[in-house]
């Protein structure tokens, strides 16, 4: 399964179907009576698909849920409140392709003295063809990877996510959890091009999936490096539990930019064979709620199975290089 091709839309759909039929050992979902009362959970991209289903799940457990969204305000929040029967659900605006928007979002959390117990970095995008954001970065690279780096940098420095590395109220006895929604497509990605790091590339619909996989390889490599950096020298329990997952193929809005000719094929295939967002949110829930994942860091799940992410993504040398190249890029952008 590890090397299965995701190079084009058809192989990606086929791979999603095959993954659902795998009979590798799965973890057991956390019972619904395990509560998150008094906990504050951030979910990005929570107006749609997996993010919304995750927001509903966490709100049903009693959490205060902050839905960080670009659109769907306030309707999606009202719907999450209604479905979870929990009023402690709020929406905050953020455009993850815009560094100024990320800064405004973090400033607001800091000014309100919010402390996050859980942060689920779910939002992602698959444009039909390559395009750049207002900072001149490839949109998929920016939203699927760089935005997470910047958002986390701000939240950790401000102590909105308590941690020891930035000297902000380490809470090793009750570590916060940071969860990244990645994708199995990171396994079959082309390697990260460190020599042309951050330079926009051109792609169309046929090779968009390849660059989507690359954006998820950036994210998965970053997730391991973040986990290592936040938990240096930790022998026992981690200071911040950092985990990632691939939710498997979801019948969501992810293919919204697929070309008109492909939609009549994709829609019924997705509706028939792909998981519902509710089912796909089970592994996110597991990473957020289970005792097991609160005692360790660096865990990767593919649907309800624990497994290692790709070898390349776990390589500490690549992780360190990715970190320094991203910092360099963000310095040239005036963001760091």
The residues binding ligand NAP (CB under 6 A) are: 16, 45, 47-51, 69-71, 94-97, 122-125, 143, 181, 183, 246-247, 249-250, 252-254
Nearest-CA neighbor of 213 among 198, 191, 193? 191
What three-state secondary structure class fits 259?
coil
- Is the Cβ–Cβ distance between 281 and 50 less than 8 Å? yes
Report the residue number, 9 or 238, with the smaller CB distance to ligand NAP: 9
Pick 162 or 218: Cβ nearer ligand NAP: 218
Closest distance of CB 276 from ligand NAP, Å: 11
Name the residue nearer to ligand NAP (CB basis): 240 or 255: 255
Residue 241 or 245: which CB sits closer to ligand NAP? 245
Radius of gyration of the chain (CA): 19
Q: How far is the CB of 6 from ligand NAP (least distance, A)?
A: 10
Q: Which residue's CB is nearer to ligand NAP, number 239 or number 245?
A: 245
CB of 55 to ligand NAP, least distance (A): 10
Closest approach of Cβ 203 to ligand NAP, in Å? 16
Q: How far is the CB of 217 from ligand NAP (least distance, A)?
A: 12
For the packed helices 316-332 and 147-157, what is the interaxial angle rounded to 10 degrees?
Answer: 90
DSSP per residue, 158-209: TTSS-BTTTTB---TTS--EEEEE--GGGGGPPPP-GGGTT------HHHHH
DSSP states of 89-141: EEEEE--TT-HHHHHHHHHHHHHTT---SEEEE------SS--B-TTSSBHHH
Shortest spacing between CB 306 and ligand NAP, in angstroms: 17
Instruction: Choose between 163 and 192: whose C-beta lies nearer to ligand NAP.
Output: 192
Q: Where are the alpha helices (DSSP H) in 231-315?
A: 263-273, 277-280, 282-289, 311-314
When CB distances to ligand NAP are compared, the closest residue is: 49
Residue 294 is classified by DSSP as: G
């Amino acid at each position: 399964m590890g090397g299965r091709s995701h190079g084009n839309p058809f192989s990606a759909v086929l791979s999603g179907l095959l993954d659902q039929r795998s009979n590798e050992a799965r973890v057991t979902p956390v019972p619904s009576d395990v509560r998150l009362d008094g906990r504050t959970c951030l979910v990005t991209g929570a107006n749609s698909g997996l993010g919304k289903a995750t927001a509903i799940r966490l709100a049903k457990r009693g959490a205060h849920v902050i839905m960080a969204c670009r659109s769907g305000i306030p309707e999606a929040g009202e719907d999450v409140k209604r479905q979870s029967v929990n009023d402690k659900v709020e929406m905050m605006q953020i455009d993850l392709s815009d560094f100024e928007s990320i800064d405004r979002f973090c400033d607001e959390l800091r000014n309100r003295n919010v402390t996050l117990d859980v942060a689920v970095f779910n939002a992602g995008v698959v444009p039909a063809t390559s395009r750049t954001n207002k900072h001149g970065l490839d949109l998929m690279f920016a939203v699927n990877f760089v935005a997470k780096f910047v958002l986390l940098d701000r939240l950790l420095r401000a102590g909105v996510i308590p941690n020891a590395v930035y000297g902000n109220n380490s809470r090793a006895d009750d570590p916060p959890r940071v969860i990244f929604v990645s994708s199995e497509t990171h396994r079959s990605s082309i390697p990260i091009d460190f020599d042309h790091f951050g330079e926009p590339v051109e792609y169309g619909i046929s090779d968009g999936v390849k660059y989507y996989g690359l954006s998820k390889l950036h994210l998965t490599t970053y997730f391991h490096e973040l986990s290592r950096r936040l938990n240096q020298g930790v022998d026992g329990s981690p200071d911040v539990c950092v985990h990632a997952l691939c939710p498997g193929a979801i019948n969501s809005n992810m293919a919204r930019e697929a070309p008109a000719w492909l939609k009549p094929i994709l829609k019924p295939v997705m509706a028939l064979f792909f998981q519902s967002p509710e089912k796909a949110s089970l592994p996110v829930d597991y990473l957020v709620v289970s005792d097991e994942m609160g005692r360790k860091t660096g865990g990767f799940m593919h649907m309800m199975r624990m497994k290692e992410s790709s070898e390349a993504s776990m390589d500490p040398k690549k992780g360190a290089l990715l970190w320094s190249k991203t910092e360099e890029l963000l310095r040239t952008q005036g963001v760091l």
